[in-house]
Every structure is written in structure tokens, then in C-alpha cells.
């Protein structure tokens, strides 16, 4: 086991992730050292008091417009609400002292598990736009201690850069902008999971229906659909066969409970299903609940965000409540 000594010349921020079981040591230069908790025998602090942090930059949007200027979202993954009065966020200008750092509005309260979005590209002296080609930004608390920093990459229209899942160390380009809400790594698509049937029989095995919300036919040959086994890599993902075309505003059904290696039955007690395109991007995901033999789980109306148990099975046709 390691013995860690943190000395005076390294002012640190310590945050132990209960999920990842890691110790994240944030140095004053903005770099982060990750140490697995199970490798640490003891920690000695010399001349410095650690600060426990629960506020993180969570999503960054650099493709702002006049109507929706550049912004940064912060996330509270602690167990109590946080007052952001006196907290500051800034780019290289604020970091070098050549311009003021942007302060969060006095009295800003962020609830447990909540988000707050601060617009950075403002007309006041501390305003700063986020470079579409990428740059570095810093977040500091009311005592002036840097509690987070990130160098984000160049982004395209319709993209942001964020942690997925929220508050974790996993940063990635997000193809769905979720300002002030939970981050999503789904890629926008006109093809959706639309109805799922988990009460299959020998004559009518489990199946999944997909829906095309566009006004053109879409060939989904090579798209993949899978359950937790495929997601974990313990079994192959099931591919849509060549020639799989979903008509405009129409449906296509794939039987999942097959005898081949990629086949998977849907658990009648609840399950998870992923759908990805030929580039390997996840374009839809759903956790299904348990169902009765006469029920399916689907979107109603078709293609909308409203999922519910359906009491009429509508395999390959418009869903009914």
C-alpha cells in the first residue's frame, strides 16, 4: 500500500469518488492526479489543509449564437446544496490576470444533484467567449482555490463537451446538447426504439420495433441492437440484416430472441436495450419495466419521448395506449 505525503508547495484539492473509489488530487496548475483508494495506506498533509469539493464543471458549449451565447454548466454531486456566491469561472485571460474573472451571481444556490448554467460570453468586462477550436477554463471557489479545470477540444455546431455520466471523470464530446439537464451521449437520429415485447413464445419470440420519424426511407443495414451482454462485450451485438429499410414515418421489427450467438431474450422482469448506428454511436437506449403477457412497452405517440406500458400489442404498426 502507498503512503502519500502532500507538502506545502503543492496546494491540493481532495475529492474521493464513492463510485470510482479514486482519490483525485487537483494541483494548483490545474492538472489532476488519480490514485486508486485501495492502494493508499495513509495520507499525511504537511502545511496544507485539503478542501473537499463537490462542484464540477459538467458541460461546456462553445458554439454560441446571439440568441444562445457560450455557456458552462456546473454540477453538484454532493449531499447538500451549495451556495456559489464568490465562486469564479474564467479562461486564460482571467487566469493570467489580464482581465477580471467572471463571478457567479451572488446568492446562487445549486441543489443536490442539480445543475447551474452560467453564460460566459457577456458584454461586461469579465465576459469571455469560448473558442470553437478549444481552450482551457478554470473554476475556483470563494477562497480563490482552483477546484476544477478542463481543456476542451474543438466542437462543431450541435455539440458540447461534458462529463458522462454527470460528475464523473469521463469527459467526451456530446452530440446532444443538454443545457441545465443530465448529460446524454446519444447521437441525434431519426431512428428510434419504439416498442418492445418481452413476453415472447416459441411461435412469437421477443422482438423490438424501431420507428423512422423522417420523411425519407432509411437503410439501417448494419445497425446493432443489444442487451447488457452486448453492452458489456460478453457476447456479440445483434446486427440488422442487409436490406433492412425503415420506411418514412414507418416501422421495422427485429426478432431478438434467436438461436444465433447474438440472440437475446428480453427479461419479463425488466431489461435494458441499446441501439447503435454503423459508426458505433449509440442512438437510442431504454430500460424497460416488467410486463404482463398482454402488454408491450413503447412510445406513445410513436417517436415521442413519452414511454409507457401499452395494453394493445401493435407489432409493426402505430402504437396504441
Contacts of 300 (CB under 8 A, 6+ apart): 306, 307, 308, 310, 319, 320, 321
Contacts of 135 (CB under 8 A, 6+ apart): 91, 92, 151, 152
Instruction: Please write down the HEC assignment for all residues of 118-135.
Output: EECCCCCCCCCCCCCCEE
In 3D space, the residue among 20, 125, 19, 115 whose CA is nearest the CA of residue 60 turns out to be 115
Side-chain half-sphere of 11: how many Cα atoms within 13 Å? 9
Q: What is the DSSP string of 5-36?
A: EE-TTS--EEEEETTTTEEEEE-TTS-EEEEE
Q: Output the pLDDT for position 17.
A: 40
Q: Output the pLDDT for position 104.
A: 98
Q: Output the pLDDT for position 46.
A: 59
Q: Output the pLDDT for position 188.
A: 86
- This prediction's pTM: 0.66
In 3D space, the residue among 166, 151, 179 whose CA is nearest the CA of residue 29 turns out to be 151
Distance from C-alpha of 149 to C-alpha of 254, rounded to nearest angstrom: 45
Weakly modelled stretches of the chain, pLDDT under 50 = 1-20, 28-30
Distances in whole angstroms, Cα of residue 244 to Cα of each of 170, 217, 280? 34, 10, 17
In 3D space, the residue among 90, 68, 199 whose CA is nearest the CA of residue 137 turns out to be 90
- Domain boundaries, given as residue ranges, for the chain: 2-52, 55-174, 191-310
Contacts of 201 (CB under 8 A, 6+ apart): none
Residue with cell 446493432: 224
Q: Quick one: fold of 191-310?
A: Immunoglobulin-like (2.60.40)
Q: Output the pLDDT for position 48.
A: 54
Q: Output the pLDDT for position 49.
A: 54
Identify whether the C-beta of residue 296 lies closer than 8 Å to the C-beta of residue 321: no
Q: Output the pLDDT for position 42.
A: 67
Whether 55-174 shares its CATH topology with 191-310 is answered yes
Q: What is the DSSP string of 189-253?
A: -SEEEEEEE----SSS--EEEEEE-SSS-EE-TT-EEE-HHHHHTSSPPEEPPTT-EEPTT-EEE
Taking the domain 55-174, which CATH number applies? Answer: 2.60.40.1260
Contacts of 204 (CB under 8 A, 6+ apart): none
Amino acid at each position: 500500500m502507498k503512503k502519500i505525503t502532500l507538502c506545502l508547495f503543492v496546494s491540493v484539492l481532495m475529492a474521493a469518488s464513492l463510485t470510482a473509489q479514486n482519490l483525485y488530487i487537483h494541483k494548483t496548475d490545474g492538472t489532476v492526479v488519480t490514485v486508486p483508494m485501495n492502494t493508499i495506506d495513509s495520507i499525511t498533509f504537511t502545511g496544507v489543509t485539503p478542501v473537499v469539493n463537490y462542484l464540477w464543471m459538467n458541460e461546456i458549449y462553445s458554439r454560441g449564437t446571439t440568441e444562445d451565447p457560450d455557456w458552462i454548466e456546473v454540477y453538484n454531486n454532493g449531499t447538500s446544496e451549495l451556495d456559489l456566491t464568490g465562486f469564479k469561472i474564467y479562461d486564460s485571460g482571467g487566469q493570467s490576470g489580464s482581465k477580471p474573472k467572471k463571478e457567479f451571481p451572488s446568492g446562487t444556490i445549486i441543489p443536490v444533484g442539480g445543475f447551474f448554467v452560467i453564460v460566459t460570453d457577456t458584454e461586461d468586462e469579465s465576459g469571455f467567449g469560448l473558442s470553437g477550436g478549444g481552450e482551457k477554463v478554470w473554476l475556483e471557489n470563494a477562497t480563490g482555490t482552483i477546484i476544477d479545470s478542463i481543456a476542451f477540444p474543438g466542437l462543431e455546431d450541435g455539440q458540447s463537451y461534458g462529463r458522462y455520466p454527470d460528475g464523473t471523470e469521463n469527459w467526451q464530446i456530446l452530440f446532444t446538447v443538454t443545457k441545465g439537464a443530465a448529460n446524454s451521449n446519444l447521437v441525434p437520429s431519426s431512428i428510434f426504439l419504439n416498442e418492445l415485447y418481452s413476453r415472447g413464445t416459441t411461435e412469437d419470440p421477443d422482438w423490438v420495433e424501431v420507428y423512422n420519424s423522417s420523411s425519407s426511407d432509411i437503410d439501417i443495414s448494419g445497425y446493432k441492437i443489444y442487451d447488457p451482454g452486448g453492452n458489456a462485450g460478453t457476447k456479440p451485438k445483434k446486427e440488422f440484416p442487409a436490406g433492412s429499410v425503415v420506411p418514412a414515418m414507418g416501422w421495422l421489427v427485429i426478432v431478438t430472441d434467436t438461436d444465433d450467438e447474438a440472440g437475446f431474450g428480453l427479461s419479463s422482469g425488466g431489461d435494458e436495450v441499446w441501439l447503435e448506428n454503423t459508426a458505433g454511436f449509440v442512438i437510442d437506449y431504454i430500460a424497460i419495466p416488467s410486463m404482463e403477457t398482454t402488454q408491450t412497452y413503447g412510445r406513445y405517440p410513436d417517436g415521442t419521448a413519452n414511454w409507457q406500458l401499452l395494453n394493445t400489442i401493435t407489432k409493426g404498426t402505430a402504437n396504441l395506449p
